[in-house]
Every structure is written in C-alpha cells, then in structure tokens.
Amino acid sequence: MHISVNVDGVTYADEVEPRLLLVHYLRERLGKTGTVVGCDTGNCGACTVHLDGHSIKSCSLFAVQANGREITTIEGLARDGKLHPVQQAFHSNHALQCGFCTPGMIMQAIDLLADEPDPDDETVRKGLEGNLCRCTGYQNIVRAVQDAAQRMKPGAGPEIEQRTPHAVGGE
Amino acid sequence: MTATAEPEIGKARLRKEDTRLITGQTRWTDNLQLTGMLHMAVLRSPVAHARITNVDVSRATAMPGVALVLTGEDLAAEQGSLPCAWPITEDMKAPAAPALAVDRVNFAGEAVALVIADSAYHAADALSEIDVDYDELPVVLDLEEAVRDNDLVHEDLGTNKSATWVYDSAEAGSGTDVEDEIASAEVVVERTFRQQRLIPAFMEPRSVVVDPAAGMFTVWSATQIPHILRWMLSAVTGIAEHKIRVIAPDVGGGFGGKLQVTPEELLCLLVARRMGRPVKWTETRTESMLSAHHGRDQLQKITLAARRDGTVTGLKVELLADMGAYLRLVTPGVPILGAFMFNAIYKFAAYRFVCTNVFTNKVPTDAYRGAGRPEATFAIERMMDELAVELGMDPMKVRELNWIKHEEFPFTTVAGLTYDSGNYEAATARAMELFDYDGLREEQARRRADGSPFQIGIGISTFTEMCGLAPSRVLGALRYGAGGWETASIRMLPTGKVEVITGTSPHGQGHETVWSQIVADKLGVPFEDVEVLHGDTATSHKGMDSYGSRSLAVGGTALVHAADKVLAKAKTLAAHMMECDETDVEFASGAFSVRGTSTSRSLGDVVLAAHVAHDLPEGMEPGLDADATFDPDNFSYPHGTHLCATEVDTETGLVKIIRYVAVDDVGTVMNPLIVDGQVHGGLAQGIAQALYEEATHDEMGTLTSATLADYLVPSAADLPSFITDRTTTPATSNPLGAKGVGEAGTIASTPAVVNSVLDAVRHLGVRDIEMPMSPERVWTALQGRGDPGSGDVAAGGLGSIDAQGGQE
C-alpha cells in the first residue's frame, strides 16, 4: 500500500506491506532508530512516539494507520539545537541509566505533561505506568517529569502538542 | 590547560552518556544495517523434553526471501558445545550444550532450527513452515523430585545432580563443628525458603550482528562481556582469536542477563562464516524470556543454632540449586558465590554450607543481579527475624548483639573471608533515624490494638556482600575459569586531550562519566577533555568486563595506577625541562613546578614535549601513554541497613510499601548521583522479587510468564519513592576506597520487604508467605490464619513453612 507520513517534519511517501508495524517502518525504512522495540505485547512502551501530538505505542500500530498523519519521534524533539525541556530534565535529574526506555519514556512524559501541567508524584507514576524501566527504579524519572513541568510553566510542549485535538487514542 | 577548580571525585557530575541517549542518537546493535545483510530467525522447541525424530524444512526453504534453513544436524559437526567456565568440583557432571539442538531438546525455548532470509519478516514467515516431530520424554521440573533421579534430564549423565559443593568451618579451620553447635544449642530454628526463579528482563532485547568481511569476523553484540565473548567464541569455533573482533556498542541493560556466551551469538558467527555475508539476529521479548538465562531458583534449608540470650552459634545451609537444562557460562558457580555470605555480618562459631546443583527441563539459570548473594542475604536476614520471633526479642536487637563491631575490623569470618572495613552501627543508627523506627512501632501497636484492616509491618535487612569478583588467585582456588583483574590505558594526545581505554564494559552504569572524573582528578585536566573508550576488542584489547559490582573497585583502580604511571614519567620529563632535580618537582592542579620557585610547566607542555621527543632525558621513550592492570588482594564488602515499612490490606492481601530507607556504605563515592541511581534501580529489582516477579511453568514445562504482560516487571505505579543515604568507611583493598554499588540495593531489599510483610500479619497467625507475595498469596495466608497447615497453601506447596517453625 502507498502511504504518506510526516515524520519529524519531513514527509515520506512509501510503498509498504499492510502488515508492516509502524515501529519497523520508522526503524528499518526511515532509519529512525531512536525509537526502539522492547517487547511484543505493548507492555514496555519503549517504542512510544507521538501520532498527531499524542503518544502511541508504535509497535501496536501498522504503518498504514499513520497514512496522512504526523509522527514525532525522540529525534524530532530538539529544536534549533536546543533540547526539549523534558529531555533536559531527564539529563539534569539522572533519570536514565542504560537509556533504552528513555525515548519512549520522554515521549510519554511529554504527553502526560500536556494533560497534566503540574502533576504530583502519583499522577506521574500512573501516567507512566505503560512504560517500563529496569534501571532507575523510576525515582529520578518522576523527579525529572516534575522538574520539566516547572521548566515548562505555564504548560507547554512542542507546537504539535498544543494544536492538535485529541483524535487518536492509539493504546 | 586549565586546572580543575574542585575535586572531580565525589562530584555529582551529570552524565556524558546522556546526550546521545536522550536524543535517540544511540547505537544499539539492532540499529546496524550492513550492505547485503541477512536476517536470522530461530525456531524454538515448544516442548520441554523430547527426542527430535524428524525436521522437515522443505516448505520453509521454498519461502520468499529465504536463503538458507539450518537444523542441528547441519551444524552438528562445527557447533561444538557452549562453554561453562566454572566447573565447581573436579567431578562436576556437565552435559554437552549444543547451540542448536541436534536430536533432543531439554527445555521449552531451546533452539532447533534457523532460517536465514533477506528480511526479518521473511525469516519469521518461514519459521512457521518448518515441521518438527517430537517424541516427548518425561519432564523434570521440581527440584526435590529431580534429586530423586526417577526421571532424568540427561540420561547419559545417569543423574540429575550436577555437583555437590561443601564448605565446612570445622574442616576449613575457620570455626567449630556446626553439628556440635546445633546439638548443644539452647534454641534451634529451622526453616525452608524458596528463592523463586526470576528473569533478568533487561529492556534491550539481545541482538547480534556478525560481519565476515575482509578476513575478520566482526561481532556486534548486546553483551556485558565483549572480551570474554571473543575468547570463548574462538575457543568453541576454532576461529583464531585475532580474527575475531567483538564490539559491545550501546547496551541496554544487563543485570547479569548479558553475562553470557549465547547460542545465538555462536550461531550468527557460524552462519556468517557459512554464507560469507553479514547476519543479524534480534530477539523478540518472548524469545528473550524463553531462552535467555534465568536467575535465582533455589530451595534453601537453613538451621540456625543460638543461645537464649540471642547469641547465634551455628549456621547450617543446605541448598538445592536449579541449573535448568544446561550449564551456561557461570551457571554452577552462582550458588557458590553465596556460600561465603550466609553468615553475613554475624559472628557465628560454626558454619556449614552444602549445595547440590540440579538439572531440570527449564531454561538454564546463571547470573542475575547479585548472583548467589541475594539468595544468601535473604536466607540469613529472614532467619534473624525468625530467631527474634522465637526469642520474643526486637529483631534489630538480635542483629546488634551478633554483628561484627566497627572496632573489630578487619574481621575474618567463619566462611574464611576477611572483611576489611565497615561500620554496621553507624549505618543502622542513620537508617533508624531516617525511618523513625520508634514512631512506626508505635503506629503498628495502635493499628494492632484497633484491629485495623490495614496492618503495618517493619522489615529489617542489615546486609553485606562480597564484590569485585577478584582476586584472581581466589577465583582460581574456586575453580573459576578466568581471572579477576582489570586493565586500563591512558593515551596522552599531543593537544593535551586524554583518551582512556578500559576493560570494563558498561551497559548503563555511567563509566564514561565516572572514569572521566577519576582521570580528570588524577591528571588535573578538565572533565570534558577526557574520552573513555570501551567495549571494542580492537581498541580495548583486554579486560574482564562488567559484572559483580567490580568495575569501579577493580577497573577504576587500574585507571588510577595508569594515571600514576603517566605522572611519574611526566615528572621526570618536567624536571628535565625545568633543569632541576626531580625531587624538587611538585605536581598540583595539572602543572609541575619547582618547589619554592615560580618556574612551572603544565602537564600539556610536558605531554607535547614527550610527543615531539626533541629533547628527552637519556633513554626515555617518546610519549606519555601508560597501561596498568590491577588485581586486588581482597574482595570489597559494601554493607548497609535497609528498613521497610509495609501496609498490608488484610481484606485484599494487597501490600503497599509506605516507607523505605536505605543507608548504604559503599566506600568512597565517586559520583553521588550515579550511586543513588544504582541503589534506586537495585531496590526496584529486589522489591520486585519480594512482591511481583516469578518465572512460572505449567506441568509440561512451558514457561507461562513469557511476556511482560505475565512476568511482572514493576512499573512506576508499583514502586514507592525511596529515602537513601550513606555512611562511609573506605575499602582498604583499593586506593579509591570504593566497594561497589551495582548489586547492593537488590541484595538488601528483598528480605527487608518480606520481613516487613510478615511482621504486619504474624500476629494474625501467618508464619510465612512465599515470594512473590502477591495479593492472592497474602490473602490466602490470612484466610488460613491459626491453621497450622495454612502456610502450605500460601506457599503454593513448596515448603516455605516448617511445621515446627514460627510462632502463633
């Protein structure tokens, strides 16, 4: 099938098999290897990207379902050489160790902060429930997300987070 | 060159590694795409024990994109046997371990055939077209049943018992006879504990790429042990070691789970050799659960002898350890790493440890964070609580009475180790203060009196561990197949920048940051001017890699010694340059100066002079590069006091951790941010063993927890915030004073949580609950309250309870 997808600001047009998973399209076809695969059941969240501004697990969508949509991956967050505040907060709070879950965790955290601009500890923990980390015990991730919320006051995120209505649930 | 403004060692430096990890610029093995690369997929046995009677690959071979289909028969002549580097006894029984099963499968998940195709999708398609006929054999799953040898995993071995390993303090001369102590004891406590089987569950699935181009096999692998892997791949295949280059690029966690020479690494190498083209294999999560090694899985029978006043006298440990179906790299040695730790921080007069390693038709076990030491710590910390209950004493008082006092270090234990330093009193005092121990005890009493459905319990774990996995001579005495040293090189570049080469192989620990701090501190160069190279046998040609909390204590020390060598030579050259006697040269903040004068040369000046070599002292070689290898004379012994308060909902069985305090003494800290991170992550894994995780099998031996939906790796919502702090007694076995921190949290936390839950419900008649303490198990135990047999129900039948144990 023919699809046209905007990924991190670039529009791609490709022939794909209907069964091709979105995450494999991103990794294998577009070379967007910042997004990774950690499981086959949608539990780990390592493959989380944004579809029209909202987090989805790209292992649970077919590439064809992204036809005509905008995808943002971890590679598209930094603007003009400047890290996204959530990326910066993950660094500043030592919220990653091996870093494999980190792209998905950051993408999910941005989505969470779009809904909850000033989340408490429990809100962050529940909001990240679908993303597993084996290294950090989550403590510094929670701290980073709350720190990012402060950095982004009065509530922000990239443009794409703000203008798109809730269209796709994805999970 | 600028001097560092403040000491780098001890500074909470943000990590260098993060930049690529938070932007998606990381190089994971699976990211690699090579021209002409083929993809390997592995067909795995759905049955746990069977003869393979026929494999029909004809339909698979004809599938689109398929280049080759291989069975065990096809590779039988060249695949050899996967290595086991730790034959713990002279007479240890070890089965042949083919990477690809030839005529028999011994666990569900074992590799039986390979498809090599032009894409991963095509390879996966063809797997389903391979027909394998299995003639099923009796399945051996239960440890106690396995030792009876009624059915055998490996018929040719004639038994399921691989080896029995004994340490006896009377025989070793390190203590008295444990049977004498038991016979003369005023109190004897006997318990049986089950260490359930766990899955390391690193987040990055394993992946291997082998490129056979240009007369060299380049192997990229998501491994913790590139150096050991190179050695072993050469040993197994006969490919000359210098024709194999192993690269561990960014590796997404390991926790011991990537301390392995895997069937798939070997198979990718053999296939690449056969095809003459690059080959990639990346596992699915389910494959990872089904075939990457598991951890723990022991049945522990513990007998503790004591006096009525609470003084412990003897400890007898009888273990059955589940090897699974094969002996992988260090499988047999994992329980032996616990042999020296059951006595922990306590002064026992007598100690006896007997471990029987047992085969079952399950995934092989091997190292998982802590490897033998969490099992030992769990058992002894549970026993100290059981003794306290037996005697009606406060569990902390019982520990205080028996632990090694700070003024008694160095202390040689009943297990024959010499603990160099520690201060259990200080760590405990700090933990009790942070925890508000007395306040929580009062709250506990209130809720008991009120009959609240939410009961509170307090759990203690005053642990120690042995780290470093060194010295080499001790590892040799334990029949381990390798040494315990570590190596480092420092390259002083002409512009004054520094390259550091380490034999350690980080996979999340932050070595690039901390090694830079150490070198910056020693040489007085800016942190940013140091680059750390690792994980590639072409640049880092030797090393013993990363596991066992060894990287800093052993590898960091090698770095210090290399820096000392650089400075010693630089000092000689600086004296020559400043035309003074070397004894008058001082080094501070990155510059050499002549004592009492304003004459000085920066290290950068000296490096350049050494590099151009225009005017060197007589006989001096150009350059200031230096290598050093360090082999410590002792293990290191981190310790700490962990206190856990849980609230148990007695109506649902749900356990909630309401306060967790960890005060660790890991020796001198290089970077507190990283140390705290290691502790947090370690705690999460130890708590997960207590409350959530278990690899379960059905009666046919099928792993029923083969996805992350079934195997409960905790999420952020399942864990509390931790209160962490430190006390410091430097290690004396290395100049950094470092003890290691990678495993501490995992080792300490499991018994703290379990002791806490039992403390919450013991007054209701519950004496034990098997791990993981799921709501179902806790609730079931509570339903049987007062019924002496109740524990058996709670424990799922596997003997966590002894009829004579506990109190009502």
What is residue A170's predicted lDDT score, i.e. its pLDDT?
A: 35
- Whether residue A47 sits in one domain with residue A101: no
CA dist B640 and B461 (Å) reads 8
CA dist B701 and B46 (Å) reads 9
Q: Is the pLDDT of residue B323 over 90?
A: yes
**Domain containing residue A23: CATH number:** 3.10.20.30
Q: Which chain B residues have a beta carbon less than 8 Å from that of A44?
A: 203, 285, 708
Question: Which residues face B641 on adjacent strands?
Answer: B462, B663
Alpha helices, DSSP H only, in B136-243? 143-146, 169-172, 178-183, 226-237
- Whether residue A151 sits in one domain with residue A98: yes
What is residue B790's predicted lDDT score, i.e. its pLDDT?
A: 39
Contact B780, B653 (CB under 8 A): yes
Q: Give the burial string for B744-777 (b: 16+ CB within 10 Å, else e).
A: bbbbbbbbbbbbbbbbbbbeebbbbbbbbbbeeb
Domain limits, CATH 3.90.1170.50, in chain B = 36-137+203-253+258-291
- Whether residue A101 sits in one domain with residue A68: no
What is residue A154's predicted lDDT score, i.e. its pLDDT?
A: 65
Tens digits of per-residue pLDDT, A32-57? Answer: 999 999 999 999 999 999 999 999 99
* Terminal Cα distance for chain B, rounded: 71
User: What distance lies between CA B466 and its chain's CA centroid?
Assistant: 12
Q: Token pair 């209701």 is at which residue?
A: B764
Q: Which chain B residues have a beta carbon less than 8 Å from that of A126?
A: 716-717
Is A53 a member of any domain?
yes
Is A30 a member of any domain?
yes
How far is A167 from chain B, CA to nearest CA, in Å? 26
How far is B600 from chain A, CA to nearest CA, in Å? 38
Tens digits of per-residue pLDDT, B24-50? Answer: 999 999 999 999 999 999 999 999 999
Q: Token pair 């291997």 is at which residue?
A: B208
Q: Which of A23, A56, A75 is the last residue of a domain?
A: A75
How far is A68 from chain B, CA to nearest CA, in Å? 24
A6 close to B (CB below 8 A): no
Handedness of CA B434, B438, B439, B441 (dihedral sign): positive
What is residue B632's predicted lDDT score, i.e. its pLDDT?
A: 95
Q: A135 vs B121: CB contact, 8 Å cut-off?
A: no
Q: Is the pLDDT of residue B720 over 90?
A: yes
Handedness of CA B295, B300, B305, B311 (dihedral sign): positive
Which residue in B648, B277, B209 sits closest to B453, CA to CA? Answer: B648
**Would you put residue B566 in left (φ > 0), alpha (ψ -120 to 50) or beta?**
alpha
Q: How confident is the model at residue A165 (pLDDT cuts 50, 70, 90)?
A: very low
What is residue A164's predicted lDDT score, i.e. its pLDDT?
A: 42
Tens digits of per-residue pLDDT, B522-577? Answer: 999 999 999 999 999 999 999 999 999 999 999 999 999 999 999 999 999 999 99
Among B18, B252, B680, beta carbon nearest to A139: B680
Q: B717 vs A129: CB contact, 8 Å cut-off?
A: yes
Q: A36 vs B30: CB contact, 8 Å cut-off?
A: yes
What is residue A153's predicted lDDT score, i.e. its pLDDT?
A: 81
CA dist A169 and A111 (Å) reads 12
What is residue A169's predicted lDDT score, i.e. its pLDDT?
A: 35
Q: Which chain B residues have a beta carbon less than 8 Å from that of A24?
A: 121
How far is A165 from chain B, CA to nearest CA, in Å? 26
How far is B679 from chain A, CA to nearest CA, in Å? 8
Q: Is the pLDDT of residue B621 over 80?
A: yes
| Relative orientation angle of helices A139-151 and A85-92, to the nearest 10 degrees | 140
What is residue B500's predicted lDDT score, i.e. its pLDDT?
A: 98
Q: B716 vs A142: CB contact, 8 Å cut-off?
A: yes
Q: Which chain A residues have a beta carbon less than 8 Å from that of B25?
A: 34, 75
Q: What is the mean pLDDT of residues B203-209?
A: 98
Q: Is the pLDDT of residue B804 over 70?
A: no
A110 close to B (CB below 8 A): no
Q: Which of A75, A107, A136 is the last residue of a domain?
A: A75
Q: A31 vs B26: CB contact, 8 Å cut-off?
A: no
Q: How confident is the model at residue B800 (pLDDT cuts 50, 70, 90)?
A: very low
Provide the CATH number for the domain formed by B36-137+203-253+258-291 in this structure. Answer: 3.90.1170.50
Among A43, A98, A101, beta carbon nearest to B709: A43
Number of domains in chain A: 2
User: What six digits make up the tokens of B488?
Assistant: 């480092």
Q: A136 vs B680: CB contact, 8 Å cut-off?
A: yes
Q: A125 vs B716: CB contact, 8 Å cut-off?
A: yes
A32 close to B (CB below 8 A): yes
**Residue with the larger pLDDT of the pair B794 and B323:** B323
Q: What is the mean pLDDT of residues B504-519?
A: 97
CA dist B516 and B514 (Å) reads 5
How far is B31 from chain A, CA to nearest CA, in Å? 6
The class of domain B18-24+485-630 in CATH terms is: alpha beta
What is residue B470's predicted lDDT score, i.e. its pLDDT?
A: 80
A96 close to B (CB below 8 A): yes
Q: Is the pLDDT of residue B259 over 80?
A: yes
What is residue B808's predicted lDDT score, i.e. its pLDDT?
A: 32
**Domain containing residue A142: CATH number:** 1.10.150.120
A2 close to B (CB below 8 A): no
Question: Judging by beta carbons within 10 Å of its beta carbon (0-12, 13-18, 19+), is residue B429 exposed, middle or buried?
Answer: middle
Q: Minimal Cα distance from B32: which residue of A?
A: A33
Is A135 a member of any domain?
yes
Contact B20, B77 (CB under 8 A): no
- Whether residue A13 sits in one domain with residue A57: yes
Contact B644, B458 (CB under 8 A): yes
Tens digits of per-residue pLDDT, B399-443? Answer: 999 999 999 999 999 999 999 999 999 999 999 999 999 999 999
User: What average pLDDT does the structure give for chain A?
Assistant: 92
How far is A29 from chain B, CA to nearest CA, in Å? 11
Q: Is the pLDDT of residue A161 over 80?
A: no
- Whether residue A63 sits in one domain with residue A28: yes
A138 close to B (CB below 8 A): yes
**Would you put residue A47 in left (φ > 0), alpha (ψ -120 to 50) or beta?**
alpha
What is residue B6's predicted lDDT score, i.e. its pLDDT?
A: 84
Contact B772, B753 (CB under 8 A): no
CA dist B363 and B334 (Å) reads 15
Q: Which of A53, A75, A97 is the last residue of a domain?
A: A75
Tens digits of per-residue pLDDT, A138-160? Answer: 999 999 999 999 999 866 554 54
Q: Is the pLDDT of residue B764 over 90?
A: yes
Q: Which residues span the domain enclosing A60?
A: 2-75
Three-class DSSP category at B543: coil
Among B22, B25, B713, beta carbon nearest to A91: B22
Provide the CATH number for the domain formed by B295-469+634-794 in this structure. Answer: 3.30.365.10
Q: Which chain B residues have a beta carbon less than 8 Å from that of A96?
A: 18, 21-22
Domain limits, CATH 3.30.365.10, in chain B = 18-24+485-630, 295-469+634-794
Q: Which chain B residues have a beta carbon less than 8 Å from that of A20?
A: 121
User: What average pLDDT does the structure give for chain B?
Assistant: 95
What is residue A167's predicted lDDT score, i.e. its pLDDT?
A: 37
What percent of chain B shows pLDDT beyond 70?
96
How far is A9 from chain B, CA to nearest CA, in Å? 16
User: In what order do the strands lie in the sheet containing B454-464?
Assistant: B454-464, B639-649, B655-665, B723-726
- Whether residue A124 sits in one domain with residue A142: yes
